[in-house]
Structure 1
């Protein structure tokens, strides 16, 4: 019996030693604006089994971490509606500025970046053990008139100005 546990333990150690350690991987970020500039953001991501277990056992709180990171990056309060092992939904009040001039409405979104999160990870003691990818494979910002701006594999998203049709 002890030999079987020892064998399983050795196999597990070898498996973990040769397996690349991938951490958080951003898949998609979808930001949907409403007419007053508020935004609903939905992020889809992958987590390792260990990260998922930490959330399941309440050792990690992705909602709190996400809220703090977004509020610091955007300089405004945000509400995390949900955050789990594969996605997060966030409400961002006044994400876009709305300007009305001559009967036209123009919306301007701020530039934002995940580079701070990427750089923040580099300062952690476990940084050499994992590889995290904070640049979403696809970021889509949808305006109230249906116009979409799409970015692929970009860690920083520029400001967008769009006049609603």
Structure 2
């Protein structure tokens, strides 16, 4: 599951939750030995979003990061960009592709939820790309 929470400044916190099997856990441990996983993730995520990214947490169960200026916010709308989730091979240095090849990694989330700061939520299922969303903001006191 992926949760994208957009705040009133347009910044987004992205949290990816996943279950890992013992082979994937071993690959994660190996990746941490041979590379700086947070730095590689930051670099790859900044390429995807073309924005500044800060990695807050990476574990076998959770990845959480913040994307600055993810969405455009004016007084009536919030527009989030379209993007594609990374392909597994994009996370690996070319010298470490053998690790990826030994696993059956699929980073397509079963559910992706985009939470807007006014309470509105857009949900996507089993898709590797998220379209641009132009959401008309609810005025204070109105139901999402």
Distance 2:120 2:110 in 1: 20
Describe the SS at the equivalent of 1:161.
strand
Residues 99 and 84 of structure 1: CA distance in aligned 2, closer, same or farther (over 3 Å): same
**1:32-56 deviations in Å (ceiling 9; x for gaps):** 111111111111123413124325x
Q: Paired residue for 2:66, among 65, 75, 91? A: 91
Q: Which consecutive unaligned segments of at least 5 residues does structure 1 have?
A: 1-27
Q: Which residue of 2 aligns with 1:108?
A: 79
Partner of 2:43: 68
1:49 corresponds to 2:19: no
Larger strand fraction of residues? 1
Q: TM-score, normalised by structure 1?
A: 0.71
The aligned residue for residue 119 of structure 2 is 146
User: Aligned Cα RMSD in Å?
Assistant: 2.2
Normalised by the size of structure 2, how large is the TM-score?
0.80
Give the distance between the partners of 1:65 and 1:121, measured in 2 at CA.
7
Q: In structure 1, what is the Cα distance between the partners aligned to 2:105 and 2:5?
A: 26
Say if 1:111 and 1:156, in contact at 8 Å, map to a contact too.
yes
Structure with greater Cα Rg: 1
Query: How many residue pairs are counted as aligned between the two chains?
Result: 132
Distance in 1 separating the partners of 2:117 and 2:60? 29
Could you say what secondary structure the match of 2:27 adopts? helix
